[in-house]
Structures are given as C-alpha cells and as structure tokens.
Structure 1
C-alpha cells in the first residue's frame, strides 16, 4: 500500500463507521486509515502518539492533525490497526492468555516510564494543558512547573466539603513523585488484541507527563464490563501505589465531577 500523504484527498467510498458518540466519530477509509473527528478531539493526542511510536509501542501512525475554525471541530488521520476490542473478548480468554496480555501491558508501561522527562512541564506531551477525565466532564489546567502546583489542579474539591475533611485529605498529597509518560485512560476498550497479542493501544488524548501514580489510580476509575479486570492491576503495573489509590478514592467523593 502506498504511504498516505497528509494532503491527499480521501475517497469517501466504502467508509465504515467504527465508533460514534457525542462529539466524536471515527471512520475507516479504503486506504486503511481512520479519521477521528469532532468537537471532543484533542490535537495534543498527536504528540503523545508520536512519542509512543518512537518508543515502538503498538500505536497508530499519525498522518495529519488539524482543527477547523468554521465548525469548531478537529480531526486526526492515522493508520487503522486490526484487532478485537479487549473488553469484548476478555470473557472468552483462558487464564494463561489473560496473564500474557497483562504482561504485555506491563512491558508497555515499563517502556513508557523509562522515558526521561525533558520538557519540565506537567501536562500534555506538547507542553500544553493537563487534562483530567472525571465523572461527567474533562478538566483542564496548567501546564504546571511542579507537582505542588499540579496538586492544586488535582485537588479540586466542591465548596461544601467540611474543613476537617479537606485538611485531612490535603495532608496526604505529596509533591516528590517522579513525572513519567502516562496514558491516562488504560481501559479495556482502548486495547486491541489479535491471537493473544496486543496490536493497538488507542485513545491517547489524556496522555502526557504526570506523577508516576497517575495511570494506576485512573485505572480503577475507568468503567469496565468485566469485573475481574481490575483484580489484575498488580500484574499490569510495574509498581503499585496503594496510599495514593486510597486517598484518591476518598477525594473522588468530594472532587468536582
């Protein structure tokens, strides 16, 4: 197949809608590329995908990312990656295959966490705002020069929280974690597999440079149909963050949704 060029006109014949939700639609084209388009598309995803590709992780190659001021939408054109959604095939997998998938994820995370933090900013890979996927919406802030200032963004609580609870929770926040390359949304529906191998890790719009515990605590926050999935956390993550997970679960009760 010839390598698609960013400015090539795309034939709209044989278009397949792969995913559609409010503010985002993903279409596959006959040249084996996909286009994500909508108001919810975050163009910072391109920088994260470029970094992940340089690390030889299973991610799609990006050909073009642009915004359209006329309608307020943005789009990213990238390779199509074959595979089945892990959430749908997980129940039919043997215990051995599940363990192998978890080991592959662990290797991906180990590779990501080994990358030096060079831009000195907590936020997206392009040096733009941090993005936190919460219960009902996405929160943005920064970028931040250090973890202490990031904590003020993360520790965003409702005004009605009692002062003793606010004080108790704030005392648990550290500001000395390593800052590492993080995905931000390690959900089963973002993982593609084929023949027992991970073929694609998708949806990097929440990725960037974050405290080392970030992917771990967010893993438990993301919805999943398979109840046993989160019990595999210690096999997936190179390091557990029990203390950070505990106070994050407490913060969730009072955090702005």
Structure 2
C-alpha cells in the first residue's frame, strides 16, 4: 500500500484547471508568476507582513507562492496526498517549480487567520482589547477539530504504511525540516530510543543546558518503543488558519512525517501563545506530559540563543 500512495503522488499528479501537471508546469506558466515575486507582494495578514523562515507572495488572484530554504517538492507532494485522502483543509497546490536554486509552491490562498494571531488581535490587527477574532467557545471547538485531524492522519498512516517502519520524513528518508536543520540526521531513526539519542547528542556539547539534558535522559529511560505515527509534525497555532470558529486551513507541511506518538502533542503547545490558547489545549488534550514538556525545553535550548 505504501507504494500505491507514493505512485499516486509522484506519477499521477492531478491536473489543475488550466490542464498542465502540477509538478511539470510549462515555462510560460512559470514566467507569468516570476515577475510577481517582489517585495510589494509579500503576503500580509491583518495588514501585517508575515515573518517566517520562508517567503510568501500574494499573486492577487487567489493564489500565493511559498519559497525559501525549507520549501521542498516533498512538501507539495504531502499537501496533495493529505488533501486527496482526508477531510483536513489543506491548501490546493496549483503548480510547483524550481527557480534560482529554490522550490516554489503555487497554492491556494486560504481566507483565514493563524490561530496565534486570531487569539490575540482584534479584527483591525491591533492587540485585542477583549474582542479578539476567536471566543473561548471557538477555541474549544478548534482544538476538538485539531484532535480529529490528528486521528485522521494516524489512520492515513495505517492505510498507507511505510515500506519499512522508520521515524523520519514522509514518504521515507531522514527528517529534513526546521526541527533538525542545524544537524540533519544522516538516516531515518529505527527506534524511539534512537530518536531520543539524536537530541541528547545535540544537547551534550551545550554545558549550560545540563538540566535539560538530564531531563531528557529521564524521559528516554521512561519511554517505551512504539510504532511511528504519521502526522503533520508542527501543529502550532501559527500553522492553523481559522475563521468563524472553524479551522479553514492547515499549512506548512514541510514537517510531515513519521514521529513518536508524543511529538504532535508537544508541537501544539510549543509556541508562545495566550493563556486562553494554552487553556483550550489543556482542556482538549490534557495536561502536558513529561516527555512533551521536555522536548519543548529541548527545542528552546537548540533554537533560542539566550534561553
């Protein structure tokens, strides 16, 4: 079954309305997009320019372009795959091409606001004075929807299992995303223990982080081996687009892959968010587990220079 899932994405790419393959667009279609990738067209949300490790451009016709160091063809393939086989609202991919040494994904512009901003800002983009874009009831509903999406992805992984069980990128190979960027693993991990060992190796040279290192040693000792689960990999509030109390888009599929079961729950709370968001997460997903809390500390140690 794993082969059939990959065959669908790699060899039977759907056709967009204009009639060309998503992953092999004609040069004239690319040439129509390239002049629009200028500073003035950088995507804005609630009047604010997005700041991220990748660049986003608004083409002005209901499409945006994502490009940058973390953008890959595999991300686009993941979006096509998940959109095809689940009810998760993934932006439609229209075209993928290479230019200037970078991958460019032309996709649907979702009419929604990231949950991170929706919980903290008023409709005019200013800091909320008590009238943010989501109510407490909305937040509860959004987290319940998110829980259902996680279950869908796990079921998708059972329907289309990897040829060989591993902890790594989808459809196969080692992790290649921002969580692993500074020290890319050479191969996929064969076990949960090897997953923990990788992060211990990264923490070991950081003498100031001994407390976090020791905490991860304990988490490793308490872990049990389990099968990898298929999941988004980074369902933080910045990657959840909402409108009218509903999730209307799940974005940034560069982290899609096979992870230990705790990883997605770690990622949901692994971002500075308002107390309201944290409370909604806890109400639906429960208290943060020891291993999830540990990896939130690990991520901070490895990415924040003055943590």
Whether TM exceeds 0.5 here: the answer is yes
Partner of 1:220: 269
Find the residue that maps to 1:114 and give its secondary structure: helix
Find the residue that maps to 1:229 and give its secondary structure: helix
Deviations 1:52-95 (A, max 9, x none): 21212100122333434xx3311112222222232232242222
**Distance (whole Å) between structure 1 residues aligned to residue 92 and residue 149 of structure 2:** 17
Q: Could you list the runs of 4 or more consecutive aligned residues of structure 1 that deviate by over 6 angstroms after TM superposition?
A: none
* RMSD (Å), alpha carbons: 3.3
2:137 to 89, 96, 99: 96
Question: Contact conserved, 2:234 with 2:267, CA < 8 A, in 1?
Answer: yes
Deviation at 1:179, TM superposition (A): 1.5
More strand by share: 1
Deviation at 1:23, TM superposition (A): 5.4
**Distance (whole Å) between structure 1 residues aligned to residue 295 and residue 224 of structure 2:** 15
**Distance (whole Å) between structure 1 residues aligned to residue 70 and residue 215 of structure 2:** 35
Deviation at 1:14, TM superposition (A): 7.6
**Distance (whole Å) between structure 2 residues aligned to residue 160 and residue 32 of structure 1:** 46
Partner of 2:11: none
TM-aligned CA distance change 1:59 to 1:253, over 3 Å: closer
1:175-190 equivalent positions in 2, closer than 5 A: 175-190=224-239
Find the residue that maps to 1:130 and give its secondary structure: coil
**Distance (whole Å) between structure 2 residues aligned to residue 56 and residue 215 of structure 1:** 18
Question: Contact conserved, 2:215 with 2:294, CA < 8 A, in 1?
Answer: no
1:244 to 274, 291, 305: 291
**Distance (whole Å) between structure 1 residues aligned to residue 294 and residue 242 of structure 2:** 33
Question: Contact conserved, 1:86 with 1:188, CA < 8 A, in 2?
Answer: yes
List alignment gaps of at least 5 residues for structure 1.
none
Find the residue that maps to 2:139 and give its secondary structure: helix
**Distance (whole Å) between structure 2 residues aligned to residue 47 and residue 205 of structure 1:** 10
Question: Contact conserved, 1:64 with 1:77, CA < 8 A, in 2?
Answer: yes
2:89 to 58, 83, 89: 58
1:40-51 equivalent positions in 2, closer than 5 A: 40-51=70-81
Question: TM-score scaled to structure 1, two decimals?
Answer: 0.80
Find the residue that maps to 1:26 and give its secondary structure: strand
**Distance (whole Å) between structure 1 residues aligned to residue 271 and residue 53 of structure 2:** 19
Question: Contact conserved, 2:154 with 2:231, CA < 8 A, in 1?
Answer: yes
Does 2:251 correspond to 1:202? yes
Deviation at 1:193, TM superposition (A): 1.7
**Distance (whole Å) between structure 1 residues aligned to residue 189 and residue 250 of structure 2:** 26
**Distance (whole Å) between structure 1 residues aligned to residue 67 and residue 297 of structure 2:** 35
1:157 to 203, 223, 234: 203
Deviation at 1:34, TM superposition (A): 1.9
Partner of 1:84: 113
Question: Contact conserved, 2:70 with 2:178, CA < 8 A, in 1?
Answer: no
**Distance (whole Å) between structure 1 residues aligned to residue 288 and residue 52 of structure 2:** 33
**Distance (whole Å) between structure 2 residues aligned to residue 188 and residue 232 of structure 1:** 12
**Distance (whole Å) between structure 2 residues aligned to residue 236 and residue 42 of structure 1:** 33
Does 2:161 correspond to 1:118? yes
Question: TM-score scaled to structure 2, two decimals?
Answer: 0.69
TM-aligned CA distance change 1:47 to 1:193, over 3 Å: same
More helix by share: 2
